[in-house]
Amino acid sequence: MATAFLAFGAGLLLSLWACAYLTPRAWWRRPNLRAGGALAAGTAVLGTSLYMIAGDPPATETALAAPSAAPVAGARYWTHDALNLRAATGTDAPRLAVVPAGSRVVATGERRGDWWQVRADVDGRQQQGWASSLWLRRADEHR
Protein backbone atom coordinates (compact mmCIF):
# COMPACT_ATOMS: atom_id res chain seq x y z
CA MET A 1 0.00 0.00 0.00
CA ALA A 2 2.80 2.39 0.87
CA THR A 3 4.51 1.64 -2.45
CA ALA A 4 1.38 2.62 -4.39
CA PHE A 5 0.96 5.80 -2.35
CA LEU A 6 4.57 6.84 -2.97
CA ALA A 7 4.43 5.95 -6.67
CA PHE A 8 1.25 7.94 -7.34
CA GLY A 9 2.45 10.81 -5.15
CA ALA A 10 5.63 11.00 -7.23
CA GLY A 11 3.49 10.72 -10.37
CA LEU A 12 1.42 13.70 -9.22
CA LEU A 13 4.53 15.80 -8.55
CA LEU A 14 6.04 14.88 -11.92
CA SER A 15 2.74 15.70 -13.62
CA LEU A 16 2.61 19.11 -11.94
CA TRP A 17 6.16 19.83 -13.08
CA ALA A 18 5.47 18.62 -16.63
CA CYS A 19 2.21 20.58 -16.86
CA ALA A 20 3.95 23.73 -15.63
CA TYR A 21 6.52 23.57 -18.42
CA LEU A 22 4.68 21.83 -21.26
CA THR A 23 1.23 23.41 -21.30
CA PRO A 24 0.08 26.98 -21.98
CA ARG A 25 0.02 29.25 -18.91
CA ALA A 26 -3.57 30.20 -19.69
CA TRP A 27 -4.69 26.69 -18.69
CA TRP A 28 -3.59 27.32 -15.11
CA ARG A 29 -4.95 30.85 -14.48
CA ARG A 30 -8.26 29.41 -13.34
CA PRO A 31 -9.45 25.84 -12.88
CA ASN A 32 -10.73 24.23 -16.07
CA LEU A 33 -11.47 20.75 -17.35
CA ARG A 34 -8.56 20.65 -19.81
CA ALA A 35 -5.96 21.39 -17.10
CA GLY A 36 -7.56 18.92 -14.67
CA GLY A 37 -7.61 16.24 -17.36
CA ALA A 38 -3.93 16.77 -18.18
CA LEU A 39 -3.03 16.56 -14.50
CA ALA A 40 -5.17 13.45 -13.90
CA ALA A 41 -3.89 11.66 -17.01
CA GLY A 42 -0.29 12.48 -16.18
CA THR A 43 -0.69 11.28 -12.61
CA ALA A 44 -2.32 8.03 -13.74
CA VAL A 45 0.28 7.27 -16.41
CA LEU A 46 3.34 8.29 -14.42
CA GLY A 47 2.05 6.82 -11.13
CA THR A 48 1.25 3.48 -12.77
CA SER A 49 4.63 3.43 -14.50
CA LEU A 50 6.48 4.14 -11.26
CA TYR A 51 4.44 1.53 -9.40
CA MET A 52 5.23 -1.10 -12.05
CA ILE A 53 8.94 -0.24 -11.90
CA ALA A 54 8.96 -0.44 -8.09
CA GLY A 55 7.27 -3.86 -8.19
CA ASP A 56 5.42 -5.57 -5.38
CA PRO A 57 6.69 -4.96 -1.86
CA PRO A 58 8.42 -7.94 -0.23
CA ALA A 59 6.18 -10.33 1.67
CA THR A 60 6.12 -9.97 5.41
CA GLU A 61 7.74 -12.51 7.67
CA THR A 62 4.33 -13.63 8.93
CA ALA A 63 3.06 -14.30 5.42
CA LEU A 64 6.14 -16.37 4.65
CA ALA A 65 5.86 -18.38 7.85
CA ALA A 66 2.23 -19.46 7.40
CA PRO A 67 2.64 -21.97 4.51
CA SER A 68 5.55 -23.70 6.23
CA ALA A 69 3.48 -24.69 9.27
CA ALA A 70 3.84 -28.46 9.47
CA PRO A 71 1.12 -30.72 10.82
CA VAL A 72 1.78 -31.95 14.33
CA ALA A 73 1.65 -35.74 14.70
CA GLY A 74 -1.50 -36.68 16.58
CA ALA A 75 -3.12 -33.26 16.14
CA ARG A 76 -6.82 -33.35 15.39
CA TYR A 77 -8.40 -31.46 12.53
CA TRP A 78 -11.89 -31.32 11.07
CA THR A 79 -12.78 -31.33 7.40
CA HIS A 80 -14.11 -28.12 5.94
CA ASP A 81 -15.91 -29.94 3.12
CA ALA A 82 -16.06 -33.51 1.81
CA LEU A 83 -12.40 -34.59 1.74
CA ASN A 84 -10.82 -36.96 -0.75
CA LEU A 85 -8.38 -39.27 1.01
CA ARG A 86 -5.78 -40.29 -1.58
CA ALA A 87 -3.14 -43.01 -1.90
CA ALA A 88 -0.45 -40.40 -2.75
CA THR A 89 -0.12 -36.65 -3.09
CA GLY A 90 -1.82 -34.86 -5.96
CA THR A 91 -5.28 -34.78 -7.41
CA ASP A 92 -4.38 -37.47 -9.94
CA ALA A 93 -3.58 -40.04 -7.20
CA PRO A 94 -6.16 -42.81 -6.64
CA ARG A 95 -8.91 -41.92 -4.16
CA LEU A 96 -9.08 -44.28 -1.18
CA ALA A 97 -12.17 -42.82 0.48
CA VAL A 98 -14.27 -39.69 0.88
CA VAL A 99 -14.32 -38.27 4.39
CA PRO A 100 -17.64 -36.47 5.01
CA ALA A 101 -17.67 -32.74 5.77
CA GLY A 102 -17.26 -31.95 9.46
CA SER A 103 -15.48 -35.23 10.26
CA ARG A 104 -12.43 -35.41 12.49
CA VAL A 105 -9.06 -36.49 11.11
CA VAL A 106 -5.72 -37.01 12.86
CA ALA A 107 -2.44 -35.89 11.29
CA THR A 108 0.44 -38.37 11.17
CA GLY A 109 3.00 -35.57 10.94
CA GLU A 110 4.05 -36.36 7.35
CA ARG A 111 3.86 -33.51 4.88
CA ARG A 112 4.66 -32.95 1.20
CA GLY A 113 3.88 -29.38 0.24
CA ASP A 114 0.19 -28.69 0.90
CA TRP A 115 -0.54 -32.42 1.22
CA TRP A 116 -0.72 -33.94 4.71
CA GLN A 117 -0.95 -37.59 5.62
CA VAL A 118 -3.96 -38.15 7.88
CA ARG A 119 -5.96 -40.95 9.51
CA ALA A 120 -9.75 -40.89 9.51
CA ASP A 121 -12.63 -43.15 10.44
CA VAL A 122 -14.67 -43.68 7.27
CA ASP A 123 -17.73 -45.95 7.42
CA GLY A 124 -16.44 -47.60 10.60
CA ARG A 125 -12.99 -48.37 9.12
CA GLN A 126 -9.75 -46.62 9.96
CA GLN A 127 -8.24 -45.19 6.74
CA GLN A 128 -4.87 -43.52 6.25
CA GLY A 129 -4.00 -41.43 3.22
CA TRP A 130 -3.04 -38.06 1.85
CA ALA A 131 -5.30 -35.02 1.92
CA SER A 132 -4.98 -31.42 0.82
CA SER A 133 -4.41 -29.26 3.89
CA LEU A 134 -6.56 -26.56 2.29
CA TRP A 135 -9.64 -28.57 3.32
CA LEU A 136 -8.57 -29.05 6.94
CA ARG A 137 -9.26 -26.80 9.93
CA ARG A 138 -7.74 -26.97 13.39
CA ALA A 139 -9.98 -28.66 15.94
CA ASP A 140 -10.13 -25.43 17.98
CA GLU A 141 -11.23 -23.28 15.02
CA HIS A 142 -14.82 -22.09 14.94
CA ARG A 143 -16.91 -23.88 12.33
Question: What are the residue ranges of helices labelled H in the chain?
Answer: 2-22, 33-54, 61-65
- Confidence (pLDDT) at 64: 36
- pTM value is 0.51
In this structure, are residues 143 and 102 in contact, taking their beta carbons and an 8 Å threshold? yes
In this structure, are residues 137 and 77 in contact, taking their beta carbons and an 8 Å threshold? yes
How far apart (Å, rounded) are the C-alpha atoms in residues 14 and 86? 57
User: How confident is the model over 45-84, as pLDDT tens digits?
Assistant: 988 888 888 776 554 443 333 334 677 888 899 888 899 9
Counts for the chain of helices (H) and strands (E), in that order: 3, 7
